[in-house]
Chains A and B, each alone.
Chain A
């Protein structure tokens, strides 16, 4: 079997590529080649990035949005070699099925287009001019200043997150060192290659480097040089990066998050229930439940036209049919082992007299566990989703509370008119986004990511008060 090799780095043109590299197989036919990084070389690289900060700050934010948008939208254009290459590599590099890789790329890259980026700037700063000079705000003149070096350490569970992160910091005019996750190296590297063609100068402010996680020496070195650090990942990895980061740095943490869904009786009528199930199935399927936006548990109001258990059956058949259009991706051996565990345990619980049930796709990973009493706690692997029944809103809040620090989005359907009150209740326990299921996988670029501001969290403001002559 031939092995394709993908070179997983992009560095400023003035930096010499070190000779030594190492390969690691990510799929039977694809290996990721990464640079063997030595500390001296890394110091030189970060020096160059920091030194270039002044040049980058002299550019206009709108112009950066235009250039980044030009490159970003190439990932959407059918027939563009960049898109073709991305679609060729993604299934192997990320474990997504071919069809799903397409949906994920379309969904992620939609936010990389110029108009979306301009909208993001406007939404965050009112006007992008606040990044280019002092503007009047609340009776004072103020300016947003991006980092001298923004270090972004991103997990690999969802491809595209690395590019989104990179675009965000570049929009704030921050030279950026991005360490993508193992499953997300392809897109940022392709993005940078394409950026270098249209604007080498801008590309020279970025380094994309992959090394295997836990190299605390390398991490400490880059964190020392950064002024802003963002970390995406599981609680333990975010914790370890935070521990390595000096207190003077701004630290933006995107720790472990999950999403859930709530279905009110109005979406359970005989006319609507199948569409509701299809929407939930789509949200469940898109990232094979690996995303922070993926709904792990669906809370179904009891007393509607469709019982929660019957809804679980509708959801199972919707997941079965979506498997044809959007097949599930590859599971690692450990994930497959975990899937057998959760299925077997649910099956045993169901025959032990518990009121639950389980429906699954045999070789396909989709699995619906009806667990009305919230008995089964499991790690989620593949398209595993739990359905629970709830009596009312306070019942829901009670069930969500134990996990509240980790809940990000709530998908909703059929909630009726008291949505504001409901959303506020959810907000109070820490939820940061309420959306319809069909929109759940791909939040708009301006969203308050985990409750924060995607760009404003990366800058500091300088206020220029009236100081007289």
Chain B
């Protein structure tokens, strides 16, 4: 078998550059919701010593002074660019697994000149979409990830590494810290360190039985994959989600029930639209809200409560009833809230739920038609229909002062040329 991992370089920052030729060489950072901290940075920003997750207010002045450019996250743009990258990959190779917004695995079994194929991927995506990618190739998915690490870290590779050759594989793994291996989290990393394992190669050469005894069968699979035995196949069907969470940080401290209710209702309505997109029905609704841990002078509080519905639903009105009650129960006065969220879980496919014997399922009339119509309007790009409880002014909503235009998804914001 042969797999490739195609991974976009500093994806969000690269998206911001597509329609801005003036910032091609300048340091670029993208900020999290509310412009809180750095979630993506270009190579040039890295060279200035900026790190992921750094709070924006700490670096703002010196970063801008040194010629840096910052953007609020523009997910409309990133999602559209991502789908273009994936579409291009599907044109190049028949078997594509979309792994995340900026990564995809390809099944390259049967392709003869792998390195040439890798370069073809790179140049095609760069030409068609305008974002740079790296391609890692190996006999297993875990080794394709290792190869991608090499392609990213060593410019001499020109962004493509093929690890079909076992000597090359060993060399790269001996240079790669074990925590960079796919599937090795920080806890496993610490435990491996106590066993004296520092590099990917040392992990690959471990005794499999020992790994299974001391760790888990998951890490055993990782070691097998590092040794070149494929254990993980390509998943072309996206898994059905097990839960949906919508949560946001507020733009300011919020301490009144009305605003919290609006925010939670808004998140609930978004979560319901996602649920219907997955064709699922849920029975469990949870609401959570918390204070700002960094404001030591404030009283700290984290509230979480769940409600089990009598029968599975995806009708926004049922969910809103539940979240409104939960919000009232969790809310406390004289507390400065900074974040709230809604979680839907316990999912059912349509029609599989066995109803309660003593309770007839009281489904609302025309529920499906109404929800379908609302979703259609809200995705049409023409206007939005919301429930009154979602609020109108949304004074609590996110701060995105530095957002770039929605170049690819909005008629009013497309790029302008002279």
A, B co-complexed:
no
Taking Cβ atoms with an 8 Å cutoff, the residues of B that contact A are: none
- A residues near B (Cβ < 8 Å) are none
